[in-house]
């Protein structure tokens, strides 16, 4: 389906899909069992990392209580009796690990744009995405499907400035992205580092912040000092001993100091 057609499906139609298929099973919706092996992962799944402990907890819950919420799938393009996952990546992985042969699903025919938006919203609601994964999802919606930042914000339930700020994170140096992906830095720390033009200095500040446990406010302070030409230091904690900006040269004061010496 074309990007324009995908854009036309956004708005109230998408909201209904999210409400119906991510929060609960709507009344009157028919579920059906399908072979687990017939379901392929969402090709637009923005999440790349799945913590083993999260899957283990869900696996235990499903083993004890069954699958309380069916998966949402769509017919796979160009393949008979195959389905692409729309929502429920963790549930699919869990039932696969449990060795289930069949799983209960709801089949919906959704376009590529809606497929990506649903995956983003599901993960955002559950706080499963890293900042970079979320930003990459927005980038795909923008570049591959032609959505504006305002349209993306409406579709995923974010503000436009939030979407814009998330997209800016993709311009960070690789070393800072790595710290962000590891969880050593928050999105707030990373946004502060966007003001550092030198990627080497940005990486150094990022590593110090991660090592010394800086707050976002402290990171912002250190970035301002760096912008003013101050020395943020190369080691030790900055707590209680903040770096000071370099003093402005004063010829009169300099003469007096020379005379005193």
230's tokens: 């101050």
Active-site residue among 59, 84, 89, 151? 89
212 is a catalytic site residue: no
Specify whether the CB–CB gap between 162 and 155 falls below 8 A: no
Q: Name the residue with tokens 């389905």.
A: 83
Specify whether the CB–CB gap between 153 and 159 falls below 8 A: yes
- Cite the active site residues: 89
């Amino acid at each position: 389906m074309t990007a324009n057609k995908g854009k036309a499906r956004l708005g109230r139609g998408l909201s209904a899909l999210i409400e119906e298929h991510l929060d609960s099973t709507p009344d009157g919706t028919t579920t059906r069992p399908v072979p687990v092996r017939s379901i392929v992962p969402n090709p637009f799944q923005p999440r790349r990392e799945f913590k083993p402990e999260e899957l283990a907890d869900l696996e235990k819950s499903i083993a004890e209580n069954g699958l309380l919420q069916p998966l949402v799938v769509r017919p796979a393009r160009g393949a008979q009796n195959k389905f692409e996952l729309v929502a429920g990546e963790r549930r699919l992985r869990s039932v696969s690990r449990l060795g289930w042969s069949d799983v209960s699903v709801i089949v919906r025919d959704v376009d590529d744009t809606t497929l990506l938006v649903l995956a983003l919203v599901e993960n955002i609601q559950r706080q499963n995405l890293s900042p970079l994964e979320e930003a990459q999802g927005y980038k795909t919606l923008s570049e591959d499907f032609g959505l504006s930042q305002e349209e993306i914000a409406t579709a995923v339930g974010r503000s436009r400035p939030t979407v814009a700020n998330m997209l800016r994170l993709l311009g960070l140096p690789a070393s800072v992205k790595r710290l962000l992906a590891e969880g050593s830095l928050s999105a707030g720390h990373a946004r502060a580092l966007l003001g550092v033009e030198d990627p080497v200095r940005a990486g150094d500040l990022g590593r110090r912040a991660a090592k010394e446990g800086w707050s976002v406010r402290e990171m912002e302070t250190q970035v301002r000092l760096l912008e003013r030409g101050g020395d943020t230091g190369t080691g030790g904690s900055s707590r209680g001993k903040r770096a000071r900006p370099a003093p402005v040269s004063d010829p009169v004061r300099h003469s007096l100091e020379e005379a005193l010496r």
